[in-house]
Amino acid sequence: MKYKSAEFLEELSFKETRALYKSMGRSDADLKGPMIGVANSWSELVTGHFNLRQLSEFVKRGVYRAGGTAVEFGVIGACDGLASGHDGMKYILPSRELIASDIETMARAHNLDGLVMLGACDKIVPGMLMAAARLDIPAIMAVSGPMLGGAEFDERKSDSTSLAEAVGMYEAGRCGMEELERLEDTACPTCGSCSFYGTANSMGALSEAMGMSLSGSALIPAVYAERLRSSESTGRKIVELVNKGITARKIITEEALENAAAVMLATGASTNCVMHLCAIAYAAGLDPQKIFAAIDALSEKIPLVAKVNPASEYDMEAFYRAGGVPQVMKEIIKFLHTGALTVNGEPLAKNLEKFKNPYGVDRRVIKSAEEPFGREKGLCILHGNLAPEGAVTKPAAMDPSMFRFAGPARVFDGEEAANRAILAGEVEPGCVVVVRYEGPKGGPGMREMFHAMKFLYGMGLAKKVALITDGRFSGTNGGCYVGHISPEAAEGGPLAALRDGDVITIDINKKEISTALSAAETAERLKGRRAPARDVPHGWLEIYAKLASSASEGAVMKIR
């Protein structure tokens, strides 16, 4: 077949292009096969990316064995864990747009025939999938795999976020410094994406569910030999996709995104996934609002068949050994579009038919649709007079006793003020903590309220206090929380009208979040209301703040 790259490599007028490739040691034989870009986000900053240099070598081995030529390039990738709790978190969500644009630029500028995207962690996977959707060339997402769980703490294997919980316990006199220091050394025993079912592993799972990663590959732990074999298989498969002309938009369809949403709901994945699925839809030329509505509708049907930390004591290794994404999809197959095409080159139904789990199904982790963990929603879209455009919560990580929570507001204009008040013991049981002006524009950058929820847990308030925000939450957070409230306070959303003492009601069964304020009183309070001044550095963050859309639209940048 005629490869796209051949338009430049075989034309007489592009002899310079061949010379430039040869200057790096490539031969005539290298310039005959398809040019496969390997977009690698490896770094020594991010534990989820630390093994990607090795995985890249296996991908390239697969590419060459299949007759292609691998051309690797670097991609940025920032770590939520390192950025959490300070202004660095403002850059994390905006980095998704940079990642997508970076890969788009490299692939278009160099006329690549196909792409393997190597990444992990919260914004990197969705950013890469957005790039694939924009480019519409053959592409496969390959993740690094989760790390193994750490030493036991608080009756389960520990992970990186156990430290934040322990800090809260220390401040409350429930944990000593010796225990804190022990945990620091034992919570993260290997590299890989964090060992809980946070956004990183959730998005890896959803990439597989939508057909953009090899079947069964997303949850293989980072240190397993199978992770290396899967990487080589990915390299071979991308050449096959190029030869067959199977491009990203033939896979990233509405049906595929609904399959991903079904798995998201069935497993109680990170709330961030709602926003990312909408952003991927937008990049693929689909309607993000339609995907948002589909998630809302599916939440009424999909049973919760898997529970993983933070919803249970089981970590990602246990989830993988229990059957991972393929087993979950087999349990909820009646809700799926089984004819959807996947990067395996076959429809979903064929992948599931072939799947065999060598470890056997573990019903402690993955149950059947007939006897699920519960009929409650894994994730839930809420509406009401506090969130006219919607908000997101995670019942799967919530004690059922908090499915209806009402209490007086304790309002904070930013994350830092809320964190200080929680650790100082100034947040009373029964209240609803409101953290506003943390949305895409108002933050800017839509930070995660990860520390606030962990501090509440450590202070013994996890089942006594709710927290709502126009910001986001980490996938490891548990408790009664509502995020992504849209429109955000900085855009004049109702959240901006709240004052201390206003009664707020969260009702999961009714899918509502509301305040007792009347529409007239809310409008009156919003008159002349201005967002607090933010010292936004000149540069990338300033650009994102001007162009970012609502969380309900994926928080993507829009020119028009």
Active site residues: 474
Tally the C-alpha atoms within 13 A of residue 333's C-alpha that lie toward its C-beta: 12
The distance from CA 15 to its chain's CA centroid, rounded to whole angstroms, is: 43
- Quote the tokens at residue 317: 């290794």
Three-state DSSP class for residue 509: coil
Q: How crowded is residue 155: how many other Cβ atoms within 10 Å of its Cβ?
A: 6
DSSP code, position 149: P
d(CA 37, CA 50): 20
d(CA 87, CA 93): 12
d(CA 515, CA 184): 41
Query: By C-alpha distance, which of 145, 158, 163 is closest to 50?
Result: 145
Three-state DSSP class for residue 53: helix
Q: How is 162-197 classified by DSSP, letter by letter? A: HHHHHHHHHHTTSS-HHHHHHHHHHS--S-SB-SSS
Q: Which residue type is seen at 167? A: V
Query: By C-alpha distance, which of 243, 180, 189, 182 is closest to 47?
Result: 189
Give yes or no for a contact between 328 and 267, defined as CB atoms under 8 angstroms apart.
Answer: yes
